[in-house]
Amino acid sequence: MQRILIVGATSAIAEATARLFACRGDALFLAGRSIERLQAIAEDLKVRGAKLADTFVHDARDFERIPALLRTAIEHLGGLDAALIAHGTLSDQTACQSSVEQLREDFDVNALSVMALCTNLANQLESQGHGVIAVISSVAGDRGRRSNYVYASAKAAVTAFTSGLRQRLYPLGIRVVTIKPGLVSTPMTATFKKGALWAMPASVAADIVRAMDSGKAVIYTPWFWRPIMWIIRSAPETLFRRLRL
């Protein structure tokens, strides 16, 4: 049995991942903004076999409340083996490029809050000498595009941060997993036109669980995004800036 904290637990990917943890009898502590959604998900997870499914109302932008979140999670779980950081928003690129205030808000949610959580988690796991930190970044962070460069920049920051954190914690036996989903059909992307490259949350969740169990460093999910992003990263800047992506 694993004792797992999930932050952003009401997101579609996090919920699908929690269901897989529940089915094998893990103990879960769920953090998110909506108490109603958290409680509904917790009850469902208990029915599916979770050893424990407790909740904690948390706004990712409330950095000062992070120690209380971790302390409460550890108390309820009786320890901490792993954490999945899954919160985030899909940036409104037009709003962000028109408003510095909106730009900062998006970075607080999608980058700085993740870094703050990782910092607190890293210090906790370092003190106990074991554990896994899994963080959902995005393929978008591999290269900025005109249609979403604010979101991409935040995810790029998360990817770089978790890379450095992984190097710091590796000698201590603590694993940091960077998860890079591609296009996923969730409520957040409900208005997007879907195509062959879109994945469902359940398939992404299965990849996340495998990566956390194995301690793999970086995963693209589904797998085909790795070669796709290699091509995008490799495109010369003189060509890339002319593309309408």
pTM metric for this prediction: 0.95
Q: What is the pLDDT of residue 88?
A: 92
189 band by pLDDT with thresholds 50, 70 and 90: confident
The whole-angstrom separation of Cα 137 and Cα 156 is: 8
Q: What is the pLDDT of residue 220?
A: 98
Indicate if 149 belongs to the active site: no
Give residue-wise pLDDT tens across range 57-69. Answer: 999 999 999 999 9
| DSSP letters spanning 98-159 | H-HHHHHHHHIIIIIHHHHHHHHHHHHHHHHT-EEEEEE--GGGGS--TTTHHHHHHHHHHH
The whole-angstrom separation of Cα 176 and Cα 242 is: 36
The residue extents of the domains of the chain are: 3-240
Give residue-wise pLDDT tens across range 140-174. Answer: 999 999 989 999 999 999 999 999 999 999 999 99
Give 3-240's CATH code, choosing from 3.40.50.720, 3.30.360.10, 2.60.120.560, 3.40.50.300: 3.40.50.720
Give residue-wise pLDDT tens across range 34-57. Answer: 999 999 999 999 999 999 999 999
Do residues 122 and 169 touch, judged by C-beta distance below 8 A? yes
Give mean pLDDT, residues 175-186. 95
Give residue-wise pLDDT tens across range 53-99. Answer: 999 999 999 999 999 999 999 999 999 999 999 999 888 899 999 99
User: For all residues of the chain together, what is the average pLDDT?
Assistant: 95
DSSP 17: H
